[in-house]
A and B are shown apart, each in its own frame.
Chain A
């Protein structure tokens, strides 16, 4: 075969290949168009189905009833949740109130016993002992003293104490210093801050005048509280008020009783002497 024949054969084969390739390209184009048409149709069908399906569901009477029931239940659920919240709040309030009432009950019981004890005797020494016990056990004082007014000298004289010697406590003039001023005014005294306090018998941390109405007959001066007692509670203030009144009447009546007993025995002695 000559060179010319060979070239002719190659050209014919290339032309043949080009024809096949063109046909393939046309076929691919047709396929792509078909695919696009089909996809469009699918989308259309899906939309139709969706519309029809929705229409079917919403139009069914059962579905409407169900929907209404769901809405009613949802509303009911919201209402119940709201009520539960209210009940829980009420419960919490009741629980808090219960604790408060329990505390008040305990406080009243303690006050009742303190007052009952104070008036359970007419023995002056016993009354003083009860005052000491109340201040120790109910207030939590470790060092304190009870000073009573001597009406002859108009001075406060120590008569009982705890944690300190009674003889170590000073005799105080009315109006002088913290104790004297508290007795003069009749007002309870509480130190502003116990931090850095150094015991001074003339400068107590608490001073409670013992009063019968407006008449002061003595004072309780506290110098130190128990280690575990770092502050005063509401019960303490109530107790201080109670002590100021009840201790004063208990001390006064027991002293009067002791005096009258003494006078009675003196008079009895005279009568015995005269009648013998």
Chain B
């Protein structure tokens, strides 16, 4: 399997570490972390990523804004985006998916679900 670059955008260090720890179990994943939407955008412009996982509620720039901006970037039109959030309402899910997210996972963290979703989107 060739290597994949994955960006994890999450303001909570604990949650970020939980996601990164889970993703490291998939061989060939190179993971980069970002603290918020702006940090995420900076890292997205610096190098090409194959997968993006983002939280919604973050300071400076939230995850929905990030999803919207990423989808408007021709380089990331097709890149899978997974939203992992505390927002469990249907309208939040629909909004994120309408903006261009591929999958929507709610907290508390469900490691198995995250891994299954990642594998499905990356076809691995």
Contacts and interface: CB of A to CB of B under 8 A. Distances in A.
A140 B107 contact: yes
Interface residues of B, number: 17
Nearest to A133: B14
Contact of B112 (A103, A113, A136): A103
A233 to B, nearest CB: 9
A136 B109 CA distance: 9
Interface stretch (B16-24, B34-42, B63-71, B73-81): B16-24
Contacts of A102: 112
B22 A109 contact: yes
Contact of A117 (B17, B107, B108): B17
A133 B109 CA distance: 11
Interface string B3-46: 00000000011110110011000000000000000000000000
Given A133-B13, A138-B18, A226 B108 contact: yes
B59 interface: no
Contacts of A133: 12-15
A227 B91 CA distance: 13
Interface in B41-59: none
A36 to B, nearest CB: 82
B89 A137 contact: no
A249 interface: no
A137 B107 contact: yes
Contact of A137 (B21, B22, B108, B112): B108
B88 A228 contact: yes
Contact of B14 (A106, A137, A228): A137
Interface string B89-112: 100000000000000001111011
Give the most central of A106, A142, A229: most B CB within 10 Å.
Answer: A106
A229 B14 contact: no
A160 interface: no
B88 A117 contact: no
Nearest to B12: A133
B72 interface: no
B89 A227 contact: yes
Interface in A94-152: 102-103, 106, 109-110, 113-114, 116-117, 130, 133-134, 136-140, 142
A110 B20 CA distance: 11
Contacts of B106: 226, 228
Contact of B109 (A110, A130, A227): A110
A227 B112 CA distance: 20
19 contacts: A106-B112, A109-B111, A113-B18, A113-B21, A117-B14, A130-B13, A130-B14, A133-B15, A134-B14, A136-B12, A136-B86, A137-B108, A137-B109, A138-B14, A140-B86, A140-B107, A142-B86, A226-B88, A228-B106
Interface of A: 102-103, 106, 109-110, 113-114, 116-117, 130, 133-134, 136-140, 142, 226-229
Given A134-B14, A142-B86, A226-B88, 5 more contacts: A114-B14, A116-B17, A117-B17, A136-B12, A136-B107
